[in-house]
Amino acid sequence: MNPLAHTTQLPRAAPARVLACGAFLKNRACLMEGSQAHWSVLHGDLDNPTHREALQASVSDLLARASGPVQALAHDMHPDFYSTRLAQAVAAERGLPAIGVQHHHAHIGGVLAEQAPPVPASAPVIGLALDGMGLGPDGRAWGGEVLRVGSGYAAHHWQRLDHLAPLTQPGADAAAREPWRLAAAVLFALRRGAEIEARFAPQVGMPAAALLHRMLQQDLNCPRSSSAGRWFDAAAGALGISVRQSGEAEAAIALEALARDWLAEHPSFAVETTSLDLHGLVGELFALAPQGPAAVARGAAWFHCALASALAQRAIAAAGAHASRCVVLAGGCFANGVLRHRLSTTLQQAGLSVRLPQDAGFGDAGLALGQAWVAACTVAEQAHQPAAPELSLAH
């Protein structure tokens, strides 16, 4: 039997025993029973066959380790993830329900599971979930979400209240590796597509710049996403910080470093906005790139502060509308200290409690905890619902 990575002590007992199979990236599985969540080792990204085999072994081990019958398997909503297919297969073999949990809902659910934040009776929390991508129930790529999520054992009740404006991703997954594509998409959306070749041909070559322009004109392989991660990439591309990324979140990390250093020298700098449509903001960053490093750093700070301001104002409004006093911040983008600090400060000044992931962490490695908690709440509610009356065939 594989060793457990560790066990998270929960502040309240889970309402059902659930095994969650985790995310596609940075995969870990989690067995939730009673007031404990038992974690598998970190398997890694599931595009690797070795990592898929490790997940399968961990699922078997966690099932064998459970102190009683597991009542459900939890998984991401994306139907093509190996973790999803594995959960569904194991559930079918055992005659158990397989419960899909939306990616960003699970990010917020993980914080509710490990912290049980105090909120007014029956009041929800407002969740801000920012990351690279997760499939929404509408079949579209999400990643910059304002959610209402039930507190306590009502965590399976949720609603999408708002989101960042969708950004076109020319080349789909290639756009996540090449920030210039996202910056070009912003130009095109602002009716400045004629600038694409001139701006980007010196960096990527005229054929690549011209081809991308044609893709945008024809809306060919150009999916849209509300992903906060892709908006960070677009800002980095507009400022000339990054053309291609050699590692995960490289552009966003560079953007944050510039913003952090500039704000340390300009602590009173502030931006007030309520718009979650960042096209205009990123469009203005293009003018700063030729002005030198100081202007680029100021642009990086401007982007961070504007995004934090808009999210804070939307969260404050949502909290007021739903009688909530608690905002949960989760998702990989909140590893960004500048964004996290600016946003948390504004929310706290408005009298709201702010909760951040602790043991589970911001990214997808902790997603299984939220999947398990939400699924456990679903199982508990279904168990207490009266059975539907049998249909009579008598006439």
Say if 233 falls within a structural domain. Answer: no
Residue 242 in domain: no
**Residue 1 confidence (pLDDT):** 61
Which range has the worst mean pLDDT, 107-116, 142-151, 155-164, 386-395?
386-395
- Inside any domain, residue 361: yes
Distance CA 371, CA 16 (A): 12
The angle at the Cα of 148, spanning 143 to 149, to the nearest 5 degrees, equals: 100
Q: Report pTM.
A: 0.94
Q: Tell me whether residue 57 is in a domain.
A: yes
pLDDT at 247 (0 to 100): 81
Residue 333 lies in a domain: yes
Could you tell me the residue range of the domain that residue 58 belongs to? 6-164+314-383
Kindly state whether residue 116 falls inside one of the protein's structural domains: yes
What is the C-alpha separation between 150 and 157, in angstroms, rounded? 5
pLDDT at site 389: 37
Pair 261, 297: CB distance under 8 Å: yes
Closest by CA position to 257, among listed 295, 210, 304, 216: 304
The answer to whether the beta carbons of residues 28 and 51 sit under 8 Å apart is: no
Q: What is the spatial distance between Cα 237 and Cα 187, in angstroms, rounded to a whole number?
A: 11
pLDDT tens readout for residues 239-269: 999 988 888 889 999 999 999 999 999 999 9
Any domain includes 299: no
Angle between helices 293-321 and 337-349 (to 10 degrees): 40
pLDDT for position 89:
98
Q: Coil, strand or helix: which one is 38?
A: strand
CATH number at residue 352: 3.30.420.560
Whose CA is closest to 14, among 370, 386, 388?
370
33-60 pLDDT, tens digit each: 999 999 999 999 999 999 999 999 999 9
How far is it, in rounded angstroms, from Cα 111 to Cα 77?
19
Number of domains within the chain: 1
In this structure, is residue 35 part of a structural domain?
yes
